[in-house]
Structure 1
Amino acid sequence: MNYVLALFLPPLSILLIGRPILSIVVFLIWVPAIIFSGGLTHPMFILLAWILIYQAHQDRRAR
């Protein structure tokens, strides 16, 4: 169950901040990366999601 959640967490978090195209791209890269590397790229995609969330908050503050 945790493995399935790990597959969808970064793309889902990017989708929830309103960037659907980027979430699809991340999902297409994320799934093979998880399968082939055993999860070594997990921190990179989590970091990408948090950067995008931070940018979305900054965009809202600027308005």
Structure 2
Amino acid sequence: MNYLLAILLPPLSILLTGRPILSILVFIIWIPALIFSGGLTHPMFILLAWLLIFQSREGRRAR
């Protein structure tokens, strides 16, 4: 169960920011990246998700 959550966490967090197309694109890239690199790209996707969450918060503050 924990592995499934770890696999889905970056695409799911991007989906929750309200960007479904980017979430699907990240999911398509994320799975092969995990398989071929052994998880070395994990920080890159976590940073992308964090950046999108930060931008959505700043967008709400501006309104």
Task: Report the equivalent of 1:10.
Answer: 10
Aligned residue pairs: how many? 63
Q: Which runs of 4+ in 1 moved over 4 A?
A: none
Calculate the TM-score normalised by the size of structure 2. 0.95
Task: Report the equivalent of 1:29.
Answer: 29
Q: Which runs of 5+ in 2 are unaligned?
A: none
Task: Report the equivalent of 2:47.
Answer: 47
Other structure's SS at 1:39 match: coil
Task: Report the equivalent of 1:58.
Answer: 58
Deviates more, 1:1-10 or 1:31-40: 1-10
1:7-57, Cα deviation, whole Å (9 max, x unpaired): 100000000110000000000000000011110000000000000000000
State the shift of 1:2 in Å. Answer: 2.3
Calculate the TM-score normalised by the size of structure 1. 0.95
